[in-house]
Structure 1
Amino acid sequence: MATYTVKLQARQPVAEGTMAFHLEKPAGFEFRPGQAMEVILPGGAEGEEGRHAFSIVSAPHEAELVFATRMRDSAFKRALAALPLGASLDIDGPFGSLILHKKAERAGVLVAGGIGITPFMSMLRNAAEQHSEQSLVLLYSNRRPEDAAFLAELQALAQRHPKFRLVATMTGMARSQQAWDGATGYIDGAFVRRAIEGLPAPIFYVSGPPALVEAMRGTLVDDAGVDEDDVRSEEFYGY
């Protein structure tokens, strides 16, 4: 890994309480879709080390680096939110092993809860750009559409890239102010079996908070009958 100094170019909300940060991409920074980087704030954040790891949302072909995070009330997040556009900060990376397999004849099933979507955004953007022939399915669970980061982009990707299918589900529509005509309820064994029917020898990737990752591994192996050797996971880096 190497450390680079970059500038904050833009920030934008991508869901309720979730913000994407756009950084300039330094020369020589190369990464694979699904990898992460550390973001190091100038001067540190009070009570914390001033650095935090985030999965990279942008794809390798894009001219910027993007990460997204829930804007929780922590010293780091407050300092991050207060950074003016044009401010300098450091990044360290890339690192991480949640990377799609190379055998295009085997499908990839991506399972994300909430902000765990971020490493998969890079994978899916890259697959669309490369016109990949690999079948990809995303199982994406959120409480409400308002909470689902990048949902509109994912829906557009599914329309544009014929090898990608989005299966999104909401678990708390009683508290939503938005309409939703998709699936509701939790991702259980039956949900997984329906979603993967007909897929060629899928390999599964799980990203999200530690409790979700542990529970979903159990759902896949114990309830959906997936071989545990075909499940790859990484506890999500950045809230």
Structure 2
Amino acid sequence: MPSYKVKLKYKRKIAEGTMAFHFEKPAGFVYKAGQFANCTLINPAETDADGNSRVFSLTSAPYEDDLMLATRMRDTAFKRVLKTMEPGTEVTLDAPHGSFTLHNNMSVPAVFLTGGIGVTPVRSIILQDVHDNVLHRILVFYSNRKPEDAAFLDDLRESHAANPNYTFVGTMTQMEKSNREWHGETGVISKAMLLKFIDDLTLPIYYIDGPPTMVNAMRQLLSEAGVDDDNIRTEEFSGY
């Protein structure tokens, strides 16, 4: 897989404790929505035992001009260097990797069950799908503690308005800690919540990504609902 040196264009806060980093897209760089990159810092000012490389979903959709990576900002050497990085700084991207991409059969619905920073590949897939006017029936269930924590909430809501085949279901689990209004679902993603929007749970292909505990809980929920293992695709975000 080729490596590319890419320059930071700018960075921005996208939710509480979460930032997006926009890089120049190299000429000829091609990827599928949902794939990821291995990002390596070049001669960082500090390092630690975890090293200078991390894996990030390519959060940008392939049609967009920038390459975007987004991450929770934890207190590690890698994240501290990333947070203070000036525009024009180069990093190395080894990419693209991964098969967490949308299936081809348009007659089979796609259901995304995602939480927290697990939303990064989902943003790429949904925005590309809407841009290409693909005819898949797509539902996104996106769980966060509160709206302040929910990265790309507006991107995913706006896609909903643009495409009649697309349904967005946001849910919040700790609204008592929020200062914002919320008129969507509350509580964890459950079988009852899925059944509000899906008549037959065994028909779609499911894409589950988020923290390992959520991935395991969703896999168990679907398994108990009779969903075939072959129709479940997962990607875990272990929170580095």
Fold agreement, TM-score > 0.5: yes
Instruction: Give me the whole-angstrom Cα distance separating, in 2, the residues matched to 1:94 and 1:72.
Output: 25
| Structure 2 equivalent of residue 228 of structure 1 | 229
Alignment of 1:1-239 (within 5 A): 1-44=1-44, 45-47=46-48, 48-197=50-199, 201-222=203-224, 224-236=225-237, 239=240
Tell me, yes or no, if the aligned pair for 2:35 and 2:57 is still in contact at 8 Å. yes
Q: 168-177 or 225-234, which moves further after superposition?
A: 225-234
Paired positions, count: 238
Structure 1 residue 237 displacement after superposition:
6.6
Q: 76-85 or 41-50, which moves further after superposition?
A: 41-50
Deviations 1:20-79 (A, max 9, x none): 100000012111111000111111441132110000111111111001000111111001
Q: Which runs of 5+ in 2 are unaligned?
A: none
Q: RMSD in angstroms over aligned alpha carbons?
A: 1.5
Instruction: Give me the whole-angstrom Cα distance separating, in 1, the residues matched to 2:43 and 2:203.
Output: 49
Letter in 1 for 2:234: S
Counterparts in 2 of 1:211 and 1:35: CA distance versus 1, 3 Å: same
Letter in 2 for 1:203: I
Letter in 2 for 1:225: G
Letter in 2 for 1:58: S
Deviations 1:181-220 (A, max 9, x none): 1110111121122232268931000011122111110011
Instruction: Give me the whole-angstrom Cα distance separating, in 1, the residues matched to 2:18 and 2:111.
Output: 24
Letter in 1 for 2:232: V
4+ residue runs of structure 1 moved beyond 6 angstroms?
Answer: none
Structure 1 residue 175 displacement after superposition:
0.4
Q: Which runs of 5+ in 1 are unaligned?
A: none
Counterparts in 2 of 1:160 and 1:195: CA distance versus 1, 3 Å: same
Counterparts in 2 of 1:119 and 1:238: CA distance versus 1, 3 Å: farther
TM-score, normalised to structure 1, is 0.95
TM-score, normalised to structure 2, is 0.95
Secondary structure, aligned partner of 2:43: coil
